[in-house]
């Protein structure tokens, strides 16, 4: 009897091809669609309909159903709306209130996709659970996906080691162009569907307008970090992140400028001017919310401080079980509290922590 695999189907091309590949490999494949956001919350701050759905989950479900019918597999549906709100979206809002830049995708994977979803899949009789992530698992090690441009281990680095048991990543060994090629070759219904972006499960939105549903707009001064002069007005600190270069809100300013920090108590957004501001750089940070997937505890490895950033050589000091000091002698740009610091040993993802405090030359940066 073939092994039963329950795969998370989002209605996108990646999970669709993953389901197809599993079926080709001889598994009994069952699809499971997660509904994690209530589209009835799609109101703006005046209570009127927005300019489009926050997350077109009905459309995504219909696409997933088309693929399931095309492949001849069952598709189940489950709601995790309350759990997503409690464990992911509330965390997202609380971090923004602190002036930090959270990454909800990591928490969604940790609490929803690789916990609640996995439990539901087991209730459906799964021998294995599969997703359409670009990652690999080999002998208990989480490895980067073959496609460097699409590798998603960064977003998986808060998932516990135990929750990677019985997990399959069918497309981790192939590239995104190959996924599209496979989808087109079999005329998969989602073959030409655009990749989704935006907040996990909420989708592509006008970010500031969306946040104003949940966080009251709080305009304040934009201050030049060197001269301490007011140079503009921001729309609320939650709308900005360290290193941001566009849509900062300094009208008529042609000189390059960057967000370098926030003062939450005084509601000030700090910017620096010039081609390459020293204020963007740091050489150490502490990380909390530690999650190790590997048994390794190296003193040297590499780290990524954002999803699209390059690997940085780092030195690790294990100061306590709850905190890790990460040093990067070659100064690094825009290391931001609230983002994840993901650790790697070549291809292996060792785990991660959430950036808490940022330092330069032994002193904590006051403006971050």
CATH number at residue 249: 2.30.30.280
User: Could you tell me if 284 and 257 lie in one domain?
Assistant: no
Angle, helices 13-24 vs 176-185, to 10°: value is 70
Judgement on whether residues 184 and 268 belong to the same structural domain of the protein: no
| pLDDT score recorded for residue 367 | 76
The counts of H helices and E strands in the chain are: 9, 18
Task: Give the number of other Cβ atoms within 10 Å of residue 246's Cβ.
Answer: 6
| Whether residue 200 lies in the annotated active site | yes
Report the number of distinct structural domains present in the chain: 3
212 located within any domain: no
- Domain of 231 in residue numbering reads as 217-273
- Residue 169, in any domain of the structure: yes
250 and 286 fall within a common domain: no
Catalytic entry in 55, 200, 341, 349: 200
What's residue 183's pLDDT?
97
CATH of the domain at 163: 3.40.50.620
Q: Same domain for 25 and 145?
A: yes
Q: Is the pTM of this model over 0.85?
A: yes
Same domain, 174 and 235: no
* 18 lies in the same domain as 133: yes
Residue 26 domain flag = yes
Tokens 């060792």 -> residue: 350
Domain boundary among 152, 177, 207: 207
Same domain membership, residue 64 and residue 186: yes
The rounded distance, in Å, linking the Cα atoms of 199 and 187 is 29
The answer to whether residues 67 and 168 belong to one domain is yes
Please check whether residue 341 is in contact with residue 290, taking contact to mean a CB–CB distance below 8 angstroms.
no
Indicate whether 269 and 153 sit together in one domain: no
Per-10-residue mean pLDDT of the chain, 368 residues long, equals: 95 97 98 84 44 62 96 96 94 95 95 96 97 96 96 98 97 97 97 77 66 90 95 94 89 86 95 86 96 96 94 95 95 95 98 97 86
Answer yes or no: do 87 and 222 share one domain. Answer: no
Asked whether residue 165 is domain-assigned, the answer is yes
CATH number of the structural domain spanning residue 294: 2.40.30.10
The pLDDT assigned to 47 comes to 40
Residues 66, 196 share a domain: yes
Q: What is the spatial distance between Cα 93 and Cα 222, in angstroms, rounded to a whole number?
A: 22
Q: Are residues 224 and 197 in the same domain?
A: no
- Residue 337 maps to a domain: yes
Q: Can you give the pLDDT at residue 7? A: 98
What does the alpha-carbon distance between residue 338 and residue 99 come to, in Å, rounded to a whole number?
A: 9
- The pLDDT, as a whole number, for residue 29 is 98
Contacts of residue 253, defined as CB under 8 A and 6 or more positions apart, other chains included, come to 231, 232
In a domain, 359, yes or no: yes
The single residue of 108, 285, 301, 349 carrying the catalytic annotation is 108
């Amino acid at each position: 009897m073939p092994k039963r695999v329950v795969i998370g189907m989002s209605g996108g091309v990646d999970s669709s091809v993953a389901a197809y590949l599993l079926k080709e490999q001889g598994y009994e494949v069952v699809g499971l669609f997660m509904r994690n956001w209530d589209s009835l919350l799609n109101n703006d701050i005046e209570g009127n309909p927005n300019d489009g759905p926050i997350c077109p989950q009905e459309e995504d479900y219909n696409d997933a159903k088309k693929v399931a019918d095309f492949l001849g597999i069952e598709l189940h549906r489950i709601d995790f709306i309350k759990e997503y709100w409690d464990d992911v979206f509330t965390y997202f809002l609380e971090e923004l209130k602190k002036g930090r830049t959270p990454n909800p995708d990591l928490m969604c994977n940790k609490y929803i996709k690789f916990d609640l979803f996995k439990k539901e899949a087991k209730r459906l009789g799964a021998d294995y659970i599969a997703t359409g992530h670009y990652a690999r698992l080999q002998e208990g090690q989480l490895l980067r996906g073959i496609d460097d441009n699409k590798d998603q281990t960064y977003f998986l680095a808060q998932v516990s080691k135990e929750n990677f048991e019985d997990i399959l990543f069918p497309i981790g060994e192939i590239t995104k162009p190959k996924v599209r090629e496979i989808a087109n070759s079999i005329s998969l219904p989602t073959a030409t569907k655009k990749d989704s972006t935006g907040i996990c499960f909420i989708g592509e939105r006008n970010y500031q307008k969306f946040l104003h549903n949940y966080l009251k707009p709080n305009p304040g001064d934009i201050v030049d970090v060197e001269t301490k002069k007011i140079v503009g007005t921001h729309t609320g600190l939650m709308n900005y992140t360290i290193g941001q270069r566009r849509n900062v809100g300094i009208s008529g300013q042609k000189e390059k400028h960057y967000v370098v920090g926030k003062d939450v108590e005084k509601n000030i957004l700090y910017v620096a001017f010039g081609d390459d501001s020293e204020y963007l750089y740091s050489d150490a940070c502490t990380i909390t919310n530690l999650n190790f997937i590997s048994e390794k505890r190296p003193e040297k490895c590499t780290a990524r401080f954002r999803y699209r950033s390059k690997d940085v050589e780092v030195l690790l000091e294990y100061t306590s079980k709850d905190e890790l000091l990460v040093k990067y002698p070659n100064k690094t740009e825009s290391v931001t509290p609230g983002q994840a610091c993901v650790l790697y040993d070549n291809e292996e993802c060792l785990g991660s922590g959430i950036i808490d405090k940022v330092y330069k030359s032994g002193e904590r940066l006051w403006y971050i």
